């Protein structure tokens, strides 16, 4: 009787393992390509004020200089950054639900 229970437990374990493997393959196969496109405008009065806007397609999370930026339902974003005087680097990073990342780095120089 105990061997029948062990066989059932073994079959359930194998079935769950196969289901998990199928799920992982499906998630990788069905995930879409992560893309990040942006544009920026600098304020003519204050050249240190830069507004970023763009699309973060299939992104779960978007950060600008390690600060979380909200992504709208239509996968667009807008954020304003105040640059330091002189040389500044702005890093946009998008991550999808599987953990893939796209990183864009923009360098600014203002006086």
Predicted confidence (pLDDT) per residue in 14-27, tens digit: 999 999 998 887 77
Q: Is the predicted pLDDT of residue 59 greater than 80, yes or no? A: yes
Tokens describing residue 8: 């059932």
- Cβ-defined contacts of 67-71 (< 8 Å, 24+): none
SS3 104: strand
**pLDDT value for 100:** 85
pTM over 0.75: no
Q: What is the mean pLDDT of residues 56-75?
A: 91
Element (H, E) at 5: helix 2-30
**Phi, psi torsion values for 82, nearest 5 degrees:** -100, 115
Residue 34: name the closest of 60, 58, 70 by CA.
Answer: 58
Which residue did the predictor score with more confidence, 15 or 109?
15
CA 71 to chain centre: 10
Cα angle vertex 7, ends 6, 8, to 5°? Answer: 90
Q: Is the predicted pLDDT of residue 1 greater than 60, yes or no? A: no
Which residue did the predictor score with more confidence, 9 or 27?
9
């Amino acid at each position: 009787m105990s061997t029948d229970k062990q066989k059932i437990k073994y079959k359930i374990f194998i079935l769950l393992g196969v289901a998990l493997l199928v799920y992982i393959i499906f998630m990788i196969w069905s995930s879409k390509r992560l893309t990040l496109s942006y544009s920026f405008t600098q304020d003519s009065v204050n050249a240190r004020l830069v507004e970023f806007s763009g699309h973060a397609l299939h992104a779960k999370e978007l950060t600008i200089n390690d600060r979380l930026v909200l992504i709208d339902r239509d996968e667009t974003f807008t954020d304003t950054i105040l640059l330091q005087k002189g040389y500044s680097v702005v890093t946009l990073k998008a991550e999808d639900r599987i953990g893939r990342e796209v990183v864009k780095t923009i360098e600014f120089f203002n006086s």
